[in-house]
Structure formats: structure tokens, C-alpha cells
């Protein structure tokens, strides 16, 4: 296994481990993740299904099996928690490895996947503890909780195959995100436990783009995520001021 400085923050691991028993409650403290999960995983599945993920791997739009658009692809879900995104990728046909440093969250992930008949390979640790390569790597609502963003991104680059894709979702560091995602979500609406986020660790798209390039990855797509109160759930758009998604590619050669 690779030997490297840890990207995991123990305080962040403990914070989310305490929520393990409530992770799969759609009305519990992870309700915002349940609400946004169809958008963020759907956005990823759509991009992986429509385009190739490596040299010599052309993929047609729909892909041969619309019920399993990611059949044949391997995906690593870094910071998987109790498996919300991992299960969505598995249901789309991918071979999924879920990685997290929180043991209680992983136990909840394994139990929930087993109950649903899903074969997901859950592993304990950080990206520095794993070997690749994978066709795609996802780290959703994770990078704002790591000890060293550039080092974390270098590990994601190492773990994805040449021509593969890295997907991130995170929070922009703006006055609006402080009001909405920190004060509003944690203190006013109480959607999240207090202390879930440190606004100072949020990352702007410009910062993230520069750090991705420094890690050898090229930004290929970006979209904002905003709540859709009329239809429920979330929608993708151009507003990057709070939540956003990024797709980056590892160049071939």
C-alpha cells in the first residue's frame, strides 16, 4: 500500500461517525444529502454513460443496457459515509468500492447494502491507503473536510486510470454560502447538526480548478446545485455560489 501523509482529519471522522445510525433516515440529520443525492449521482452517471472513461473505451449514449448504464465500469467512492452515493452507482451497474475512515459509518454502509442485495466493496481508510486504478473516482461533500486538499487531489489522480474521470461536489466559500449552508442549515433551519461545516474550509471553483490542475487533472465540466422547492429535490444550473459539482479528467499519456 502507498505510504503518505494522512489526508484524513480525525475530528471530521468522529463528527460523521456519530451520525452513522441516522445516516439512512431521510428525515434525520443527513436529510440534505438524501435530497441532493439523486441530482449529484445522476449528473455523474449521465457523464460516465455518455462518454468513454479511458483509452480504447468508446461508450455510446445509452449504453447497451439502459437499466445498468455503468455496467463494466469501476468506481471508487471516497468518503462514502454510509453509502448513499455508492448504492446509487451500484444500482447503475458499476463495480463500486466505497472508502471511508469512519468505522461506524462503514458498518452502517455494509449492513444497508447487504439488506438491499448490493455487492459493494467497502474499505476503511483514506485515499492514501488504496491502490488503483479505477475508471472513475468520486469524492462528494468530502474535500471541504480533508487535511490537505492538494495532497488529497494528487491521490485521486493516482487512483483514476489515464482517460478516467474524477468527480467532486463541494461548497463555495462565499458570503451567500456562509448565510445559507452554515448559519441557515445548521442554526436557523437545523437541517444539519451544528458544527457540521467550517466555512473557512469551503473552496472556491477557482481554487479547486487550480489545485486540480496542480494534481494533473483537467476540469471538463462544472455545475451549480440549488434546491428546487417547486418540484422537490435539487436541480443543476449555473449558480455556483453555494453548492457545486465538478468533473475533471486525467489526461492520457
DSSP class of residue 251 equals P
| Residue 51 marked ligand-binding | no
CB 135 within 8 A of CB 54: yes
| Residue 70 marked ligand-binding | no
Walk across the sheet containing 95-100 and list its strands: 121-124, 95-100, 74-78, 134-140, 160-171, 243-249, 218-227, 234-237
CB 13 within 8 A of CB 101: yes
| Residue 100 marked ligand-binding | yes
| Residue 140 marked ligand-binding | yes
DSSP class of residue 129 equals G
Distance CA 98, CA 111 (A): 13
Look up cell 440529520; give the residue: 29
Number of helices (H), then strands (E), in the chain: 7, 8
Annotated binding site: 40, 79, 100, 140
Annotated binding site for S-adenosyl-L-methionine: 40, 79, 100, 140
Amino acid at each position: 500500500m502507498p505510504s503518505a501523509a494522512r489526508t484524513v482529519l480525525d475530528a471530521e471522522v468522529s463528527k460523521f461517525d456519530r451520525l452513522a445510525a441516522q445516516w439512512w433516515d431521510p428525515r434525520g440529520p443527513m436529510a440534505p444529502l438524501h435530497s441532493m443525492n439523486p441530482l449529484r449521482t445522476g449528473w455523474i452517471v449521465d457523464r460516465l454513460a455518455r462518454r468513454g472513461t479511458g483509452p480504447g473505451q468508446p461508450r455510446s449514449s445509452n449504453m447497451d443496457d439502459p437499466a445498468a448504464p455503468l455496467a463494466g465500469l469501476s468506481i471508487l467512492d471516497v468518503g462514502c459515509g454510509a453509502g448513499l452515493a455508492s448504492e446509487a452507482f451500484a444500482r447503475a451497474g458499476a463495480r463500486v468500492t466505497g472508502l471511508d475512515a469512519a468505522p461506524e459509518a462503514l458498518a452502517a454502509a455494509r449492513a444497508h447494502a447487504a439488506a438491499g442485495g448490493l455487492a459493494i466493496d467497502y474499505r476503511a481508510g483514506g485515499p492514501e491507503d488504496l491502490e488503483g486504478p479505477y475508471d472513475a473516482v468520486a469524492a462528494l461533500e468530502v474535500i471541504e473536510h480533508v487535511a490537505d486538499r492538494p495532497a488529497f487531489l494528487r491521490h485521486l489522480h493516482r487512483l483514476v486510470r489515464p482517460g478516467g474521470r474524477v468527480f467532486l461536489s463541494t461548497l463555495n466559500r462565499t458570503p451567500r454560502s456562509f448565510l445559507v449552508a452554515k448559519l441557515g442549515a445548521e442554526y436557523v433551519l437545523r437541517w444539519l447538526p451544528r458544527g457540521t461545516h467550517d466555512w473557512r474550509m469551503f473552496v472556491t471553483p477557482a481554487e479547486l480548478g487550480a489545485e486540480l490542475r496542480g494534481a494533473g487533472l483537467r476540469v471538463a465540466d462544472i455545475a451549480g446545485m440549488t434546491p428546487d422547492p417547486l418540484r422537490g429535490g435539487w436541480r443543476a444550473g449555473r449558480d455556483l455560489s453555494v453548492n457545486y459539482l465538478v468533473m475533471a479528467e486525467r489526461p492520457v499519456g
